[in-house]
Chains A and B, each alone.
Chain A
Amino acid sequence: MDSLTNYLFVSVVLFALGLYGVITRRNGVAVLMGVELILNSANINFLAFARFGGMNMAGHVFALFVIVLAAAEAAVALAIIINIFNNFHTINVDDVSELKQ
């Protein structure tokens, strides 16, 4: 069970779910959750390759940085969504379209 392929499989499933979430969800927060899934699927990849590929620490370090950046990005994105709610009284991304398409 403890092989690279299993981890890569989990990561691909997570990536696909994240992609599906971003494309189908209309709630701003749910879209962000989809993005988080994509970032975490990449993290699994980095860790699995570093663990099984006999590689150096680069993969572990990369994953740590990604976690930090994902938090920073989520903080900014949530602040923007709060602002949207104050002005539009909705966080449905389809309803927020005053600019010409």
Chain B
Amino acid sequence: MSNLNSLSHFWPELILTLTVLTAVVADLFYHKDESRKVAWWVLGGLALTLFAIQMGGSTVTDLFMGTIALDPFSEFFKILVLIATVLVILTSFNSNELQDYRVGEYYSILAIMVFGLFLMASAIDILMVYLAIEVVSIMSFFLAGYLKKNPHSNEASLKYVIYGAFSSGIMLYGLSILFGLTGTTKFVEMQAAISGLSPDSNLALIISAVFILAGFGYKISAVPFHFWTPDVYEGSPTTITAYLSVAPKAAGFAMLIRFFNQVFGDSSALVSESWQALNQIPWPQLMGVLAAATMTVGNLVAIQQKSVKRMLAYSSIAHAGYMMMALPLMSKAGVYGIMMYLLMYLFMNLGAFFVVIYIQGKTGGEDFEDFNGMGWKMPFVGVVMTLFMLSLTGLPPTAGFIGKFYLFAAVIEAGPQYYWLAFVGVLNSVISLYYYFRVVKHMYFIGERSETVEMPESNLVTFVLLSLAIPTFIFGWYFAPVANWVSESLVIFQGM
């Protein structure tokens, strides 16, 4: 579609841009103590954006001369990102860490990041892929280092910027090789060009695929590109840690699914139930090994952590590993499983991080010791945290179980050559039971029982925790509407 015509389908992004500008200008008029009011402007803009997405209907087309795709698949991820952003903004109101800073910019930068994530979810041109990843990365560097006076936050942003710039540079080099091989920047034309290549160029193709994987792997924190994750997650403001562990990961998966299936798969990719890799590229084998490595490393290191925040950082690596299991399957069921899991993961992981923020505000720490006796002292927070831990482990009747169920079902259905992967996945889920239940053990069985009972004094905290806990519980046994929504969203743009 031509540039001018595309604008009429680009309302959500246009509204977001206006939101950012309004928020930046509004911030100028607020005194430092009032700058958190910018959040309401941003929330209003996000609500309008959601409305615009809903109004757009489920058209499937390309925008801006084939650089961006408009399809239900990208809409699904946009809505996911919006939910995560709204919840993170609401939690930021009660965050202790942000109190000493002017927070107007914080909310504007979050809105810019949403814009980048929207582009990530819908890019179908390697130039747009690179631009979107950079917009998201640069904004995350800012947010990770937002606590200027806090050395941990500084260190987190330094490590993030070095790893981020390095891996996007490697990815760019891979993209340049791919551009040279195919002579185009559009996914669909690339697929046609690659299937016409002679076997002599396979080596160059594999090198470029591995380089590009470095960029994507960094975004979803897959092993061996995960080294930044624990330090950045531990040092950043906890609200941002929660956000980074969900939203960019979801958009990264959207991009990974689109890119590798469309560029390195045959033309039946994403249309039919199963498909083939082009030119015998060992893509499924590579992804299978990476998935197994990612979950194992994430889980084994998570066991040894003293800080709950850092434990959740490693466990988020492990969750990326579970989702990666479905990437090499080359089936529609696999993509469906990833989308279901991301939706469930959004609620349970944000919930776990938000409880950490709350406990941090009460005790000043985020180690396992700081959770001692909390289950008796704050019954509401204790029950909710137990629910999130159950769900992250994947036990019924919680959302995590349903997410894992669809993923493992897809892996088993794909045939005997993937049984080992499912086996590694089950083994890892059992390992994760140990460290998730350590939190529950500290909350209920260690430390003295408190005589007094505390409830969250702010209604906002109760509201946010309930709005995460209720879906985590309900989706465990009543998930038909969600499952329908996901399967309706499984319509991916295939070409002009």
Q: Is B456 an interface residue (CB 8 A)?
A: no
Shortest C-beta distance, A4 to chain B (Å), equals 9
Which of B148, B172, B179, B231 is A49 in contact with, Cβ under 8 Å? B179
Assembly CA distance A96 to B134 (angstroms): 25
Assembly CA distance A46 to B183 (angstroms): 10
Assembly CA distance A66 to B130 (angstroms): 9
Shortest C-beta distance, B57 to chain A (Å), equals 31
Q: Is B420 an interface residue (CB 8 A)?
A: no
Which of B141, B151, B152 is A80 in contact with, Cβ under 8 Å? B141
Q: Is the pair A42, B131 in contact by a Cβ cutoff of 8 Å?
A: no
B154 contacts across to A, CB distance below 8 A: 80, 83-84, 87-88, 96
Mask: chain B, 122-143; 1 = CB below 8 Å from A; 0 = not: 0000110011001001100110
Stretch at the interface among B47-55, B158-166, B282-290: B158-166
Assembly CA distance A51 to B57 (angstroms): 42
Assembly CA distance A42 to B165 (angstroms): 13
Shortest C-beta distance, B305 to chain A (Å), equals 8
Q: Is the pair B142, A76 in contact by a Cβ cutoff of 8 Å?
A: yes
Shortest C-beta distance, A97 to chain B (Å), equals 7
Q: Is the pair B176, A18 in contact by a Cβ cutoff of 8 Å?
A: no
Residue of B nearest to A28 (CB): B158
A contact residues, range: 35 or more
* Main SS at interface, chain A: helix
Which of B161, B172, B230 is A42 in contact with, Cβ under 8 Å? B172
Which of A42, A58, A81, A99 is B185 in contact with, Cβ under 8 Å? A58
Assembly CA distance A80 to B273 (angstroms): 47
B306 contacts across to A, CB distance below 8 A: 100
Assembly CA distance A59 to B307 (angstroms): 47
Assembly CA distance A49 to B152 (angstroms): 44
Q: Is the pair B161, A77 in contact by a Cβ cutoff of 8 Å?
A: yes
Shortest C-beta distance, A37 to chain B (Å), equals 9
B185 contacts across to A, CB distance below 8 A: 58, 62
Q: Is A13 an interface residue (CB 8 A)?
A: no
Which of A15, A31, A32, A58 is B127 in contact with, Cβ under 8 Å? A58
Assembly CA distance A87 to B231 (angstroms): 18
Mask: chain B, 180-192; 1 = CB below 8 Å from A; 0 = not: 1001110000000
Q: Is the pair A58, B179 in contact by a Cβ cutoff of 8 Å?
A: yes
Which of A59, A69, A96 is B179 in contact with, Cβ under 8 Å? A59
Which of B141, B175, B230 is A76 in contact with, Cβ under 8 Å? B141
Assembly CA distance A58 to B190 (angstroms): 13
Q: Is the pair B127, A83 in contact by a Cβ cutoff of 8 Å?
A: no
Mask: chain A, 77-101; 1 = CB below 8 Å from B; 0 = not: 1001101100110000100111111
Q: Is the pair A93, B180 in contact by a Cβ cutoff of 8 Å?
A: no
Q: Is B464 an interface residue (CB 8 A)?
A: no
B residues adjacent to A (C-beta < 8 A): 126-127, 130-131, 134, 137-138, 141-142, 145, 148-149, 151-152, 154-158, 161-162, 165-166, 169-170, 172-173, 175-177, 179-180, 183-185, 230-231, 234-235, 306-307, 310
Q: List 12 A-B contacts (CB under 8 A).
A: A38-B166, A38-B172, A38-B173, A39-B172, A42-B175, A46-B179, A53-B180, A69-B130, A77-B165, A80-B145, A83-B154, A99-B235
A residues adjacent to B (C-beta < 8 A): 15, 18, 22, 28, 31-32, 34-35, 38-39, 41-43, 45-46, 48-49, 53, 55, 58-59, 61-62, 65-66, 69, 72-73, 76-77, 80-81, 83-84, 87-88, 93, 96-101
Besides A32-B165, A42-B172, A45-B173, 10 more A-B contacts (Cβ < 8 Å) are: A35-B166, A38-B166, A42-B173, A46-B179, A48-B180, A81-B158, A93-B158, A99-B234, A100-B307, A101-B231
